[in-house]
Amino acid sequence: MLRGVALVAAEDTRVTARLLGHYQIATTLTALHAHNEKGVIPRLLRLLAQGKSVALVSDAGTPAISDPGAQLVAAARAAGHRVVPVPGASALTAALSAAGVSDPRFLFQGFLPQRAGERRRVIEALRTVRWALVFYEAPHRIDAALADLCELLGAARRIVIARELTKLFETMHACTLGEARQWLAADANRARGEFVLVVEGAADADDEPDRARRVLEVLLAEVPLKQAVALAARITGAKKNALYALALNLKKRGE
């Protein structure tokens, strides 16, 4: 495909040049990335109007999936040109295929917001979603993202941390959200590279009261009531007021 088109639009021409060089492909390269996509589109549309073909590639993963390209695809289709997907690397599907998620439904969030407050609002809005939640994350934000996911979704939820998929230092680790940051901190290399996070969906609403009760019963046997409530809220995601009332009731029955 790359050998047969008139032009390759690449997220980073330096990266794609190495690929073309390896296969001795002489096709002309041009840059198309998040900062210039809108300005480059008219030139590419003119080429397409002349009957020429353009290939769109990104550095890793799939164009327009948390990568540049969606604006070009929309503009090309609106102008009446054919848009043809070429199957290739996808961090999303690669992570899901090895995550062991049995539910065929999932919600792909992509990258979480960089600002802490906005990131927390997005996560909170997903707290009751029962499908698996899939996030992309960058190395310099991975620890903060895991901290917020644990606090807002509950420490007991399962997560699969996929790092550097299909690359030399590929790593996949399954644990609970409560264990995730400890695993990350155990080796400085684990915080490097690009991440896909696959987080277990929320429990069935019918199961939540029983689960909260079981968690509280265990905690009340080990720690004071207020501490048990605080921990149960972090683990289950339930409201503290409801947990406090339940804890008082359990304590009363125990006495």
Burial pattern 174-185, b for ≥16 Cβ within 10 A else e, equals: bebbebbbebbe
Give the integer Cα–Cα distance in Å for 224 and 211: 19
Domain 91-199 listed as CATH 3.40.50.1980:
no
Give the integer Cα–Cα distance in Å for 98 and 92: 10
Q: Which residue spans within 139-227 are E strands per DSSP?
A: 158-163, 171-176, 195-199
* Closest CA relative to residue 164, chosen from 140, 132, 196, 197: 196
Neighbours of 209 (CB within 10 A): 13
DSSP code of 188?
Answer: G
Q: What's the confidence (pLDDT) of residue 89?
A: 83
**CB 100, CB 160: distance < 8 Å:** yes
Neighbours of 188 (CB within 10 A): 8
Q: What's the confidence (pLDDT) of residue 231?
A: 87
What are 122's two structure tokens?
Answer: 């997005």
Provide Rg for the chain, Cα atoms.
23
Q: What's the confidence (pLDDT) of residue 254?
A: 67
Q: Is the pLDDT of residue 182 over 90?
A: yes
Q: What's the confidence (pLDDT) of residue 48?
A: 97
Calculate mean pLDDT across residues 213-230: 87
Q: What's the confidence (pLDDT) of residue 209?
A: 65
Per residue in 41-53, pLDDT tens? 999 999 999 999 9
What are 217's two structure tokens?
Answer: 């019963």
Domain made up of 7-78: CATH architecture: 3-Layer(aba) Sandwich (3.40)
φ/ψ of 157, rounded to 5, equals -65, 145
Pick the more confident residue, 221 or 163: 163
Q: Where residue 204 falls among pLDDT bands split at 50, 70, 90?
A: low
Q: Provide, for the chain, the percentages of residues in helix, strand and coil under a 3-state DSSP scheme, each rounded to the nearest 5.
A: 45, 15, 40
Q: Where residue 119 falls among pLDDT bands split at 50, 70, 90?
A: very high
